[in-house]
Homo-oligomer: A and B are copies of this chain.
Amino acid sequence: MISVEEALARILAAIAPLPTVRVPLPEALGLVLAEDVIAREDIPPFDNSAMDGFALRSQDSKERQGQPPRLKVTGTVAAGYVADHAIEPGTAMRIMTGAPVPPGADTVIQVELTRHGGPESDWVEILQEVKPGNNIRPAGEDMRHGQLILPRGSEIGAWEIGVLATLGWASVPVTRRARVAILGTGDEVIEIDQPLQPGKIRNSNSYLLEAAVRRAGAIPERLGVARDTVESLREKFSQAINADLILTSGGVSVGDFDLVKNIMSEQGEIQFWRINMRPGKPVAFGHIGAVPLLGLPGNPVSSAVTFELFGRPVLRKLQGHTHLLKPQIEVKVEDGVQERAMRRHYVRAYVRWQDGKFVARTTGHQGSHIMTSLLQTNALLIVPEGGVVVQPGDTVQAIMLDWPENAS
């Protein structure tokens, strides 16, 4: 048996990021930038006003014989327009937030610190002395021409989209999404819209994995369920030749994996490991032709957990991410874990923030066929190898899968 870390390292060593494609900006959400983004302009592009007010020369704001100075208002600069004349000594212009500061002015006073005769007034009294640069956002204060703004490898979230739009990147070079072929296996597996028959169960894994693949930003394609025959498997694999990854579930226990193994040997190569973990001991990795294949166990819980530990990091690496693993924190386990497992045990648990720390409660029965336990799970507690018992109140490492929203 090999360790989880060794299995993951071996799998990731065989995975390289996918090619770069250029997509329209809105489609770049969640993808990884494939080139450095350098500002080709100053942002803001021009000195502009942070307030609605009056643009003037700061020296004109000084009191004269204890009286507020009264200036002639020569016009208005609205956002989106430029002044058609300059500020001369003794004059001011009405200016709106975001409008370019007119030539000659070196400061802006907000409207609340002035007295004037209304929106069309041709005079304004300056009630407070203002310094040069007051309420002015200088050109380039946010981004400078030539500055590296987003390095290659950055994940593009909503706010990165905003920055790219500001810089005029209407399309963006990204590492493309992975296409993932998902294959169920086993004569016992029927489609989800079928009534149950004796000995049969429904194909839950393919749908679960499809959703998990989509959550990881990749494009899933369900190939259905292969029967337990060479012909059926060969036919299904032939549909996956254009995929970037094949995910199988089931058919990787020691006895019955021979079939898939034979086909992989025939069409590519296979590594098959018993991994020192629970749930999910048997995991296969290899290639069908040039397409990597990750073979997950058939038990729904094992399939779900091994996807998180091995499948999701593979998809993130394919899609250009450098941070591949879910965050890991320490949590206090309220109820402890009494069940001894000699293998590394990933215990399903619900973690919440309480009184300044994270507290976990396990979901109870950890059998790999107890799917309902997944419904209360937002974290996997890591119980180390060797039959460790976690006492109530002990602290363990937890992989956070999800961080749920607060009630409003």
Chain A, residues 250-270, CB within 8 Å of chain B (1/0): the string is 000111100000000000000
- Residue contact A137 to B207, C-beta cutoff 8 Å: no
Copies per complex of this chain? 2
A8 to B12 alpha-carbon distance, docked (Å)? 45
| A374, B52: Cβ atoms closer than 8 Å | no
Say yes or no: A158 contacts B304, CB within 8 Å: yes
Q: Is the CB of A328 within 8 A of B403?
A: no
Nearest B residue to A209 via CB reads: B158
How far apart are the CA atoms of A371 and B161 in the complex, in Å? 11
Docked pose: A202 CA to B199 CA in angstroms: 62
**Which chain A residues (188-209) contact chain B, with CB distance < 8 Å?**
188-189, 192-196, 198-209
Please tell me if A82 contacts chain B, counting CB pairs below 8 Å. yes
Cβ contact within 8 Å between A137 and B369: yes
Partner of A186, one of B98, B209, B408: B98
The answer, among B154, B204, B322, for a CB contact under 8 Å with A166, is: B204
Contact residues, A243-287 vs B (CB, 8 A):
253-256
Which of A57-65, A122-130, A211-219, A230-238 binds B? A211-219
Establish whether residues B329 and A45, one from each chain, have CB atoms under 8 Å apart when the complex forms. Answer: no
Q: Closest CB-CB distance, A357 to chain B, in whole Å?
A: 9
B82 lies within 8 A of A158 (CB): no
Q: What is the minimal beta-carbon distance from A138 to any residue of chain B, in angstroms?
A: 10
- The verdict on A26 contacting B192 (CB below 8 Å), with A159-B375, A374-B159 known, is no
Give the CA-CA distance A192 to B166 in the complex, in Å.
7
Is A38 in the interface zone, CB < 8 Å from B? no
Pairs A–B under 8 Å by Cβ, sample size 6: A45-B196, A99-B199, A142-B372, A143-B371, A162-B207, A163-B371
- Contact pattern, A 135-174, Cβ under 8 Å of B = 1, otherwise 0: 0010001110000011000100111111111111110000
